[in-house]
Amino acid sequence: MNTANPATSSELLAAVASRELAGMRMVFAGIGLPTLAVSLADLTVAPGLEIVYESGVCGAHPSHLPETIADAVLITGAEAVLPMASLFGYVLQGGRIDVAFLGAAQIDRYGNLNSSVIGPWERPAVRLPGSGGAVEVMANAGEVFVVMRRHDPRSFVAELDFCTSPGPDRARADGGRPRGRGVTRVITDLGILSRAGDGAGEELTLTAVHPGVTAERVRAATGWDLKVADALATTAPPTDQELRLLREDIDPDRVYLR
Amino acid sequence: MDKTTTMSEAIARYVADGATVALEGFTHLIPTAAGHEIIRQRRRGLTVVRMTPDIVTDQMIAADCVAKVVGAFVGNSSAGSLGELRRRVEAGTLELEECSHYGMICRYLAGAQRLPFYPLRSYAGSDLPRVNPGLRKVVSPYPGPDGGEPEQVYVVPPVHPDVTIIHAQRADRRGNVQIWGLTGIQAEAVYAARHAVAVVEEVVDDAVVRADPNRTAVPAHAIDAVVACPHGAHPSFAQGYYDRDNAFYRRWAGISKDPERLKAWLEEYVLGTRDHAEYVAKLAADGTWDRLAVGSAPSGSIDYGRRLRKEHP
């Protein structure tokens, strides 16, 4: 580790998320920390990773760090730009995506996500943007990674105020046949929660904590009785190479490394 | 037939009070100038259909043009909230019909094809069908995989806007619309509608369009009016013409958070300008267009070929 200039929380999250992409081929990415994680993975553990954006871009080779999922720099020099009906219909619903990143305002123990409202939908205390493509990403991606910058009981809740994007258990209970395993990793500023996603009723379990974080602290920051893995790991801090790539090549202006 | 007209005439003719108006363009080519003209003409009681209701929707809501929003993502991109939309939804004074991106795409697909519904693998287990009764479940009439139980799938109803307005890079005078870069959902939204208006950066000669027919996203038979309106997608972008005004998106979070500031912004930039040309001139004064200028990256050219002999080969 670069002891003279230690990793920030964002750098740690990006590095940890990038390592989880080892062996992946097709990733559906949003903007922000996922952009950094995917770019870093492409340069380290998953060379040749194809990034797909819901705007329709496949195989982007941007000259600058994109500011949106539809940034002009994603188009110029891209391998393909599809109409959205093809992107959602053939690529996502057609089952081509190995892993997708989603964000949320609330997550529950099964990895169901709320990005719609805080409070009742009819008269919300806070109206959030809503699904966008999240409900279809959850139903159709092989698995889903969630990155949360702040692990606290307001976000990690026992009961969602609204279920925007249901995991496979909820989907099956409603007669659905979800293709994917739902949320398998939640990467936060405190550690990593994991689900294998291959059995009914399976909960997110704390499988790793970041250096200096205790399991008790993570449990206190979680709104349900969080299970802790017997073999609780400590995440390895970003390596010198990961930090150099993030700081010098991927996000030199620190747009997302805030 | 020459379908070119002015923005003022196109809006006056195709957007009536109480109409259902689709404004499409996903981040790219958002028909902002058309939204501003709707505000200037003080339309009331509109249902705005837009996959991602964003800044122009927030402005139309603040100008009291909108009774209902149909959409899937009611946010200011990743730059914060739509202040007016949030205030009204949280106060219960704006009707919101909410689904998801693919749900909206399938609504346009059903509308364009005059189908009664369109199936998709979304919504099972979601709370969205509880708050949007249009999202319903059907049983497949066919056996499931391996001959098992028939699948249950959710379906969405068609949407048939009275008018769909899109923005594009160019069109000929008859309305053959050419788009490059992100083509989004524009063609589906046009075909779903009763009428369609294409607002373009430039009107070009027929020969320009016919030199590259694959570039035509919407043919003239689906377009009723063509409006030339340079920079008409600002603050969104037009690939190859000008970049996205990311700074304005970030500023909108602050402007729209304060109702007085939002009202003043509308008075100055929309109601206080006679047309989009005045808006463009106003923004030129602070260097907006220099800041958003883009360099050149021309496409490779392809060869469509032409038959050399008069008789059939």
The C-alpha of A115 sits at a distance from chain B's nearest C-alpha, in angstroms, of 10
- Across the range B259-284, mean pLDDT stands at 98
Give the pLDDT confidence score for residue A2 in this predicted structure. Answer: 53
Give the pLDDT confidence score for residue A3 in this predicted structure. Answer: 57
**Which element (helix H / strand E) includes A113?**
strand A113-114
Contact at CB, A132 and B52, closer than 8 angstroms: yes
Among B61, B87, B127, B131, most A C-beta atoms within 10 A, so best to mutate, is: B127
Judged by DSSP in three states, B92 sits in coil
Query: What's the ipTM?
Result: 0.95
The C-alpha of B39 sits at a distance from chain A's nearest C-alpha, in angstroms, of 24
> What are the phi and psi torsion angles at B218 (to 5°)?
-135, 120
Judged by DSSP in three states, B186 sits in helix
In this predicted structure, the answer to whether residue B232 has a pLDDT above a threshold of 60 is: yes
User: How far is Cα of residue B82 from the mean position of the Cα atoms in its chain?
Assistant: 17
Give the pLDDT confidence score for residue A4 in this predicted structure. Answer: 63
Q: Where are the domains of chain B?
A: 4-99+159-291, 117-156
- The series of mean pLDDT values per 10 residues for chain A, 258 residues long, is 75 95 92 90 93 93 87 93 98 97 96 97 96 96 95 98 97 93 97 92 97 97 98 96 95 88
Q: Are A139 and A92 in contact (CB under 8 A)?
A: no
The C-alpha of A97 sits at a distance from chain B's nearest C-alpha, in angstroms, of 15
Among A58, A68, A74, most B C-beta atoms within 10 A, so best to mutate, is: A68
* Distance between CA atoms of residues B173 and A96, nearest Å: 41
Judged by DSSP in three states, B265 sits in helix
Judging contacts by C-beta atoms under 8 Å, the chain B residues touching residue A177 are 121, 124, 151
Q: Are B195 and B13 in contact (CB under 8 A)?
A: no
- Across the range B297-311, mean pLDDT stands at 92
- Over the range B72-103, which residues count as b (16 or more CB within 10 Å of their CB) and which as e? bbbbbbbbbbbbbbbbbbbeeebebbbbbbbb
Query: Which residue type is seen at A221?
Result: A
Looking at chain A, which residue has its C-alpha nearest residue B99? A131
Looking at chain B, which residue has its C-alpha nearest residue A53? B182
* Distance between CA atoms of residues A43 and B21, nearest Å: 45
The pLDDT-based confidence of B156 (bands split at 50, 70, 90) is very high
**Which element (helix H / strand E) includes A233?**
strand A227-234
Give the pLDDT confidence score for residue B69 in this predicted structure. Answer: 98
Neighbouring CB atoms inside 10 A of B230's CB total 17
Among B51, B74, B96, B101, most A C-beta atoms within 10 A, so best to mutate, is: B101
Minimal Cβ distance to B86: which of A121, A127, A174: A127
**Which element (helix H / strand E) includes B136?**
strand B136-139
Contact at CB, B137 and A129, closer than 8 angstroms: no
Q: Regarding predicted confidence, which is higher, B272 or B311?
A: B272
Give the pLDDT confidence score for residue B150 in this predicted structure. Answer: 94
In this predicted structure, the answer to whether residue B244 has a pLDDT above a threshold of 60 is: yes
Give the pLDDT confidence score for residue A198 in this predicted structure. Answer: 83
* Distance between CA atoms of residues A103 and A106, nearest Å: 9
**Candidate list A54, A143, A202, A242, residue with the active-site label:** A54
Active site residue A79: no
Q: Are B135 and B103 in contact (CB under 8 A)?
A: yes
- Across the range B99-120, mean pLDDT stands at 98
Judging contacts by C-beta atoms under 8 Å, the chain A residues touching residue B291 are none
* Distance between CA atoms of residues A132 and B189, nearest Å: 17
Beta pairing partners, A212? none
Q: Are B251 and B19 in contact (CB under 8 A)?
A: no
Domain covering B4-99+159-291 in this structure, CATH number:
3.40.1080.10
